[in-house]
Structure formats: C-alpha cells, structure tokens
Structure 1
Amino acid sequence: MSHANNPEILNRLKRAQGHLSKIVEMVEEGRDALTIAQQLQAVLKAVDKAKTVLVLHHIEHHLEEATGALPKEVRERLSGIAEITKYL
C-alpha cells in the first residue's frame, strides 16, 4: 500500500489540520498563550506521529519490495524498531 493510500497517516494529518484551524481561531480571539502553546504542542505531536508512521511504512514497503513478503519473525523485529522510534 502506498503512503498516499494509508488511512492511518491520512487520518492523523487531517486531525492535526483540523486542530490547527482551531488554534488559528484561538489566536484570532486573543485566547491565553499558555492554552494556545499547549494546543500547538498537541499538533506537533500529532504531525510527528504521522511522520513516524510514514517513515516506518516506507521502510517496511521497500523491504518487502526488495525481499518479498516478510516472515512473521521479521515483522516482529520491525515492531521493535517502531517501538523504539518514539524516543527519537
């Protein structure tokens, strides 16, 4: 599956986009800076997570393209890599 068709990536980005629109409204309304900063942090985390999903999907896709279907053992190892990327 192409990243262009990956519903997890698209949903994360669309949620972040909607959230960011609300933040723009908050700024226009002159809302509290602390509240706006907290909401901006949430958007940054959402975009960062979408990026992580995109990169991991890309790696898996090209591994399968190069080697064929990945065995369960390899997929489990990739899950470990995915888990540790949250600390990057």
Structure 2
Amino acid sequence: MSQLTDEKNRTDLLNRLKRAEGQLRGIQRMIEEGQPCLDIASQMAAVRKALDSTYVRMTVCFMEQELGNRLGDNAKGRKQLTEVLEEVQTLLGKVR
C-alpha cells in the first residue's frame, strides 16, 4: 500500500493526532482526579470522534493522491476529483 506523500496532508494528520493525544492525557488526569464518569465519558466520545475524523481524512487524502496519480496532469479531472472527495469526506463525517 502507498504512503501519503503530500507534506501538508501528513502535517494535518499529525496535528489531529497530537490533539487527540492531548485529549487522552486530559482523560487520564480526569480519572486520576476522580472526576464524574459522565464527564469522562463525554471526553472519551470526543476523542473517538476526533480519531474517526482523522481516519476519514487520511482515507480521503490517500484516495486523492492515488486517483490523482492515475489522472496525470489533467487539471480539470483533478479539480473534479477534489470536489467529489470533499463531498465524500463530508458524507463519511456524518456516519457517527
């Protein structure tokens, strides 16, 4: 399987994961401090959503990269591909 080569997309994905990592650390602190389970559960749900969103973004970036490589230098085709994949990302984001 291919790797993501676009540095902007890789940076975006890493930043999303770092935010989720920070949220997880916050949850650990909440548990250590004895915070209410409902509050902890809410934060866990937020982390899950962040990770799901990151996964969708990574998948769309991969699709854009691989399909774009197959289209070659067809600027109109790449623009249409980007538009369709943005819609796919929006649709997949509504799954959860």
TM-score by length of 2: 0.79
Alignment match, 1:2: 4
Q: Provide the secondary structure at the position in 2 that maps to 1:71.
A: helix
Task: Go from structure 1 to structure 2 and tell me whether the alpha carbon gap of 1:10 and 1:63 turns closer, same or farther (over 3 Å shift).
Answer: same
Task: Go from structure 1 to structure 2 and tell me whether the alpha carbon gap of 1:87 and 1:21 turns closer, same or farther (over 3 Å shift).
Answer: same
Give the share of equivalent positions with the same residue, in percent.
33
Q: Tell me whether 1:39 sits opposite 2:43 in the alignment.
A: yes
Determine if contact 1:23/1:40 at 8 Å carries over to the other structure: yes
Structure with more relative contact order (C-alpha pairs < 8 Å, separation 6 or more): 1
CA RMSD between the two structures: 2.0
2:28 aligned to which of 24, 36, 40: 24
* Unpaired stretches in structure 1, ≥5 consecutive residues: none
Alignment: residue pair count:
88
* Unpaired stretches in structure 2, ≥5 consecutive residues: none
| Cα shift at 1:71 | 2.9
Alignment match, 2:80: 73
Task: Go from structure 1 to structure 2 and tell me whether the alpha carbon gap of 1:87 and 1:3 turns closer, same or farther (over 3 Å shift).
Answer: farther
